[in-house]
Copies of this chain bind each other. A is one copy, B any other.
Amino acid sequence: MKPPLRIAIAGLGTVGAGTVKLLQRNAELLAARAGRRLVLGAVAARDRKRERGVDLSAVRWVEDAAALARDPEIDVVVELIGGSDGIAREVVAGAIAAGKHVVTANKALIAHHGTELARAAEANGVALLFEAAVAGGIPILKTLREGLAANQVTRIYGILNGTCNYILTAMRDTGRDFAEVLREAQQLGYAEADPSFDIDGIDAAHKLAVLAAVAFGNAVDFAGVHVEGIRHVSALDIDFAAELGYRIKLLGMARLTEHGLEQRVHACMVPRSTPIAHVEGVFNGIVVEGDFVGRVMLEGRGAGAEPTASAVVADVLDIALGRWSASFALPASALPMRPASPMARHVGAFYLRLMVVDRPGVIADVAAALRDEQVSMEQMIQRGRSPGEAVPVVLTTHETEEAAMRRAVARIDRLGSVIEPTRMIRVENL
């Protein structure tokens, strides 16, 4: 048997404690699979006294996480502190510089500094793995890097944030509105006290930037992600979506276009018949479309201590067995930075909901606004009639360039009979 692999964990929050628990509970299984023992050599965390539900009595404690990077008794540093900069970045960069392998669950760090860190890891001949940074327990990065590596990826999209998916699923199931469901999600622990990171799409955008880099062999380009959240999704739109055969999901999507790398995170309507529409509640799901494999979907838990620990330790096993390879599937030193494909150039279908005063001629005015921007209507629903009152009018369009759609919406919103800003939701006919 090979000598043990000595692991240090920096950060003992819920994921850190889950990782310790996994290393302890499945120690025999891991040793059998790795052909060597995985030994927890040290941990670094601020509060030594906090109850974490795991036995840390035999583990060396280190006050300063950054010191782990220089610890000669450690082979792999597992960074579970979080945050794109500060101590997390220091620990990771320091460990790499000291010739240690690094495993991290830190999506913000990889989204902001992944390419630079991967270059350093490559120069130092060490692994930098971050399966747990994207979609928790779902091994999507390994699948892209290895399992589907023979394919040119044509498109990737997914439900990458369990909080948003929980909220949208609960809104649909209960008919309640966003604010109320968010409060409930906070009470259940599915949403943070300050939920903006999740519901404004930032978390999903971090993950999408990492996914897109691996899928398309691009430098990580978080700044190039178009991000919208789900605050504006209303119960009314969820109802209309159902009527039209769609569900509303927050998706992260990426593909190469003639303009560069398109990366976008926003709520969209997906056909009820497509597999991603059935990824519900706190589950995540990612679809990869490859030129040979066609469509592959992976679904599972995208967060939580135990699923995330599963991904962290899988990376550690790859290091223990020496079967790790390039962080982004291609040499980091050679990753191109393609231009970001602008949203104005995005071509897709759209759903519009107008709130109009119900009087003769309104629809003709709306139709004229669309015609003037060469937007072609697919269908229209006008529900109920209340002459002189505000009623919703819903329409969907054929494929059109987003810039034209936005100009048409601006025209519509200037009409006297349109009494609220028109709500636009992109339709993805997956």
Binding site for B on A (CB under 8 A): 18, 22, 25-26, 29-30, 32-33, 35, 131, 137-139, 142-143, 146-152, 217, 275, 278-279, 290-301, 304, 306-307, 309-314, 316-318, 321-325, 329-331
Given known contacts A294-B304, A296-B301, what 6 new A-B pairs fall within 8 Å (CB)?
A: A18-B292, A33-B330, A137-B293, A142-B143, A150-B317, A293-B301
| Chain B neighbourhood of A150, CB < 8 A | 22, 26, 29-30, 309-310, 312-314, 316-317
Contacts of A149 in B (CB 8 A): 33, 314, 317
Q: Is the CB–CB distance between B296 and A137 below 8 Å?
A: yes
Query: Are A146 and B137 in touch, CB under 8 angstroms?
Result: no
CA gap between A15 and B44 in the complex, in Å = 51
As for how many copies of this chain the complex holds, the number is 2
Complex Cα–Cα for A312 and B313 (A): 27
A295-B301 in contact given A143-B139, A152-B29 (Cβ < 8 Å): yes
Chain B contacts of A309 at CB under 8 A?
Answer: 150, 292
Bound together, the chains give a CA A148 to CA B307 distance in angstroms of 10
Within 8 Å by CB of A323, from B30, B146, B294, B317, lies B146
Please determine whether A137 and B292 come into contact, CB atoms closer than 8 angstroms: yes
Q: By the criterion CB–CB under 8 Å, are A297 and B299 in contact?
A: yes
**Can you name 6 A-B pairs with beta carbons within 8 Å?**
A33-B330, A138-B296, A142-B142, A149-B314, A292-B313, A294-B304
Task: Tell whether A318 pairs with B146 under 8 Å between CB atoms, given A299-B297, A310-B151.
Answer: yes
Nearest 3 A-B pairs (CB), nearest first? A139-B147, A150-B313, A296-B300
A2 CB, min distance to chain B CBs, angstroms: 13
Contact B313 A321 (CB under 8 A): no
A9 to chain B, nearest CB (A): 14
- Give the interface centre of A18, A292, A301 by most chain B CB atoms within 10 Å: A292
8 Å CB contact of A137 from B152, B278, B294, B306: B294
| Closest CB in chain B relative to A311 CB, distance in Å | 8
Of chain B, the residue at the smallest CB distance from A278 is: B278
Contact A300 B294 (CB under 8 A): yes
**When A149-B33, A150-B310 are in contact, do A26 and B291 touch as well, CB less than 8 Å?**
yes
CA distance A312 to B293 in the complex (A): 11
Question: What B residues does A330 contact at CB under 8 A?
Answer: 32-33
Q: Cβ of A142 and Cβ of B151 under 8 Å apart?
A: no
Q: Collect the chain B residues with CB atoms within 8 Å of residue A294's CB.
A: 137, 300-301, 304, 306-307
A69 to chain B, nearest CB (A): 24
Given A296-B298, A321-B325, do A148 and B139 touch, yes or no (CB 8 Å)? yes
Say how far A134's CB is from chain B's closest CB, in angstroms: 12
Asked if B301 and A298 sit within 8 Å, CB to CB, the answer is no
Please name the residue on chain B nearest to A330 by beta carbon. Answer: B32
Q: Closest residue to A277 on the B side, CB-wise?
A: B278
Contact B278 A293 (CB under 8 A): no
In the complex, are the beta carbons of A146 and B314 less than 8 A apart?
A: yes
A306 to B321, CA, bound (A): 30
Pairwise interchain contact A293-B306, C-beta atoms closer than 8 A:
yes
Partner pick for A33 among B25, B35, B137, B329, CB 8 A cutoff: B329
Q: Which residues of B contact A300 (CB under 8 A)?
A: 293-297
